[in-house]
Chains A and B, each alone.
Chain A
Amino acid sequence: MNYDEAISKFDPVLGLEVHVELGTNTKMFCGCSTVFGAPPNTHVCPVCLGLPGALPTLNKIGVESAIRIGLALNCQIAQWCRFARKNYFYPDMPKNFQTSQYDEPIAFEGYLDVEIDTDEGRKTFRVPIERAHMEEDTGKNSHVGGATGRIHGADYSLVDYNRAGIPLIEIVTKPITGTGKYAPEVAKAYVAALRDILRGLGVSDVKMEQGSLRCDVNLSLRETPESKLGTRSETKNVNSLRSVERAVRYEVTRHAARLTAGDSVVQETRHWHEDTGISTSGRIKSDAEDYRYFPEPDLLPIAPSREWVEELRASLPENPAVRRARLVADWGLSEIDMNTVVNSGALDLIVEAVDAGVDPAAARKWWTGELARIANDRGIELEELPVLPSHLKRLEELISAGSLNDKLARQALEGVIAGEGDIDEIVKARGLAVVSDEGPLLAAIDEALAADPAVAETIKSGKLAAAGSVVGAVMKATRGQADAARVRELLFEKLGVSE
């Protein structure tokens, strides 16, 4: 059974659950820091360790972020809602319950429009959103013993509660129907669009590889769009955009193979394996799990005033998809160029540079070229480079005035990154200037020709490409400070050749 065959026989129904870790300074219900990477069990207190008598207090920014996310996803915001205790026993939950929301989510009934490429061109799919609710993250287990460091076969486990209590927002879609064969692409586009929105809101660093954005994929098949919903599987640990697409494709094919062979699909939780690209069976979901939810007595209800909600709505940033379309038009880019920009994380930096007066093409060239390379070499994010819009602006001015060439401009940027001051200071201190006086250039050309006596004849015979080695030698002799185009002109003038 391959995907095309599967999709010709069945109609897929998708459901996506995304957990996003908020970027607040403190945990949802206590003042412990959320900074990643601290020594084990040092960001903990009686509240997040679930010690007797400890009482939670609600993080205002956590609630505000939840409302902003709800608004950005076109949701309604609850007039009044409560937290609930979700009771279960697992060592990463020190309280033996997770403080979550049950039948009163803070945001509900929204949607997100996503665009994908189809056989009929670009098409919009509306993903219906059921709810977005507030909850808290769990601690982190590590498993000791056994062959693989995994939970199965481990001798015992170790728990670090630094992550326990970090605010999470869980965003749940309604069943997504009508995607047909594009289910994998729609799923991926949805998670990508959600990530862009969350990044634009500034509520999370949305790093899938570090677990601050996590996705569970629910999938079922039915024979026709008119049939009733089939049994679904829930695939967890789908932690990259590529995996979202692959996991949907894999599950469609797996379900179809079972159904075609006359087997039933088991309602279960499955685990996605990034390395092998398959899912394996986890927990069987027998009947609805009994979490004994009840309203959290230690936290008071939340009743966001309509004024507060409208204030937050008014402060929402432009929708990323709308902004992107606007920039594509303004900058005259192709969709492919724009993808490169967005994927490189350079969009905001380019926008800032353009706002400061840098030509869009130049800003894009620097941020997706030289600066991306430097950041990559150093293993840091683009925005961590100390390069300001004003630096690029001055650089471009000097380039168009002919006093810097591309190579010298790169050296000037190196100076900026090394903290040597502003562009003019660096140009001066490093002696970076295009040699425009033709005397030294002509002397360097003579030297280059003398060093390679045959080359002059070669060029005169019409093989203009041979000029490259002479120009290269001159650039080398002038330590890159010559204008290569001018050197070429002077060389041809000298030899009496015309291009």
Chain B
Amino acid sequence: MSGISQEDVAHLANLARISIPVDELGHYAKQLDAILNAVAEVSSLDTENVAAMSHPVPMTNVFREDIPGVSLTAEQALSGAPAVEDDKFRVPRILDEE
């Protein structure tokens, strides 16, 4: 079963903001395909009556009371930021000029 094309890899890389050179797309397509094929073995089982699982522990309704706790100081919050201005995170231009 082969599913992943070079276009798929380019699309996923774009969504994940990963830069992959064009000449390496085939390489990753092959790798991802191999992973999918390995996982695809599951489809040989009859899972019609098995619900898809997103959480390994069968628990629900775990809530926290609505009571404020301790927050960081601005200094702590910003301590790992590459750039800071006016106690805010400074980030590069978001939209390019149109």
Q: Which residue of B lies closest to A167 (CB)?
A: B66
Question: Looking across the interface, which residue of chain A has its beta carbon closest to that of B88?
Answer: A158
How distant is the Cα of A62 from the Cα of B93 in the complex, in angstroms? 34
Task: Say whether, besides A32-B69, A33-B71, A161-B77, A60 and B63 are in contact (CB < 8 Å).
Answer: yes
| Residue pair B15, A290 in contact (C-beta under 8 Å) | yes
Q: Is the CB of A154 within 8 A of B74?
A: no
CB-defined contacts of B61 to chain A, threshold 8 Å: 300, 302-304
Which chain B residue shows the least CB distance to A289?
A: B15
In the complex, which residues of chain B have a beta carbon less than 8 angstroms from the beta carbon of A158?
Answer: 85-86, 88-91
Binary flags per residue of B61-98, CB closer than 8 Å to A gives 1, else 0 = 11111111111111001100000011111111111011
A43–B93 Cα gap in the complex (Å)?
25
Interface residue ranges of A79-100 to B (CB < 8 Å): 80, 82, 87, 89-91
Q: Does any Cβ of A come within 8 Å of B19's Cβ?
A: no
Contact B60 A300, beta carbon cutoff 8 Å: yes
Beyond A80-B60, A292-B15, A302-B61, whether A39 also contacts B95 by CB under 8 A is: no
A residues within 8 A CB of B66?
24-26, 59-62
Contact of A159 among B11, B89, B98 (CB under 8 A): B89
Give min CB distance, B54 to chain A, whole Å: 4
Say yes or no: is B50 at the interface (Cβ < 8 Å to chain A): no
B86 and A152 contact, CB distance less than 8 A: no
Contact A40–B71 (Cβ < 8 Å) = no
Instruction: Count A-side interface residues using an 8 Å CB cutoff.
Output: 53
Chain A residues closer than 8 Å to B88, beta-carbon distance: 40-41, 142, 158-160
Contacts of B92 in A (CB 8 A): 156-157
**Contact of A154 with B54 in the complex, beta carbons under 8 Å:** no
CA distance A123 to B57 in the complex (A): 52
Q: Cβ of B60 and Cβ of A303 under 8 Å apart?
A: yes
A301 within 8 A of B: yes
Roughly how many angstroms separate A12 CA and B5 CA in the complex, as a whole number? 42
Nearest B residue to A62 via CB reads B66
Q: Name the residue of chain B whose CB is nearest to the CB of A63.
A: B63
B22 within 8 A of A: no
Number of A-B residue pairs having CB atoms within 8 Å of each other in the complex: 133
B59 at the interface (CB under 8 A from A): yes
Q: Are B91 and A91 in contact (CB under 8 A)?
A: yes
B interface SS class: loop
Distance between Cα atoms of A228 and B97 in the complex (Å): 37
Q: Given A31-B70, A290-B15, is A152 in contact with B97 using a C-beta cutoff of 8 Å? A: yes
- Chain A: which residue is nearest B80 at the CB level? A51
Chain A residue with the shortest CB-CB distance to B64: A57
Contact partners of B78 in chain A: CB under 8 A: 41
- Once the chains are docked, how many angstroms separate the CA of A157 from the CA of B65? 35
A158 to B15, CA, bound (A): 24
Contact of A354 with B by CB under 8 A: no
Are B67 and A297 in touch, CB under 8 angstroms?
no
A45 within 8 A of B: yes
Contact yes or no, B59 A300, CB < 8 A: yes
A239 to B17 alpha-carbon distance, docked (Å)? 33
A153/B97 contact (C-beta < 8 A), A26-B66, A31-B68, A39-B74 known = yes
Q: Is the CB of A295 within 8 A of B54?
A: yes
Tell me how far the C-beta of B39 lies from the nearest C-beta in chain A, rounded to whole angstroms: 15
Q: Chain A's nearest CB lies how many Å from the CB of B87?
A: 4
- Distance between Cα atoms of A141 and B74 in the complex (Å): 16
Cβ-defined contact, B72 with A44, below 8 A: yes
Q: Chain A contacts of B98 at CB under 8 A?
A: 152
With both beta carbons as reference points, the residue of chain A lying nearest to B92 in the complex is identified as A156
Chain A residue nearest to B66 (CB atoms) is A61
Give B77 Cβ to nearest chain A Cβ, in Å: 5
Nearest Cβ on chain B to A280's Cβ, whole angstroms: 11
A80 to B52, CA, bound (A): 14
A151 within 8 A of B: yes
Q: Are B90 and A44 in contact (CB under 8 A)?
A: no
Closest CB in chain B relative to A84 CB, distance in Å: 9
Report chain B residues within 8 Å CB of A60.
63-66
Residues of A close to B15: CB separation below 8 A: 87, 290, 292
Residue of chain B at shortest CB distance from A83 = B54
A42 at the interface (CB under 8 A from B): yes
Considering the chains assembled together, what is the distance between the CA atoms of A44 and B15 in angstroms? Answer: 27
User: B77 contacts which chain A residues (CB < 8 A)?
Assistant: 41-42, 44, 49, 161
Residue from the list B11, B63, B89 in contact with A161, Cβ < 8 A = B89
**Known contacts A31-B64, A87-B15: does B54 contact A297 (CB below 8 Å)?**
yes
How distant is the Cα of A164 from the Cα of B65 in the complex, in angstroms? Answer: 19
Query: CA separation between A295 and B70, bound complex, in Å?
Result: 28
* Distance between B38 CB and nearest chain A CB, rounded to angstroms: 19
CB-defined contacts of A90 to chain B, threshold 8 Å: 94
Q: List 5 A-B contacts (CB under 8 A).
A: A25-B66, A58-B64, A59-B64, A154-B95, A160-B87
Which residues does B use to contact A, with CB under 8 Å? 11, 15, 17, 54-55, 57, 59-74, 77-78, 85-95, 97-98
Q: Would you list the 4 A-B pairs with minimal beta carbon distance, nearest first?
A: A31-B69, A60-B63, A295-B54, A158-B88
> Given contacts A41-B78, A143-B94, A156-B92, could you give 9 more A-B pairs where the C-beta distance is less than 8 Å?
A31-B69, A32-B69, A44-B72, A57-B62, A58-B64, A59-B64, A59-B66, A144-B85, A301-B60
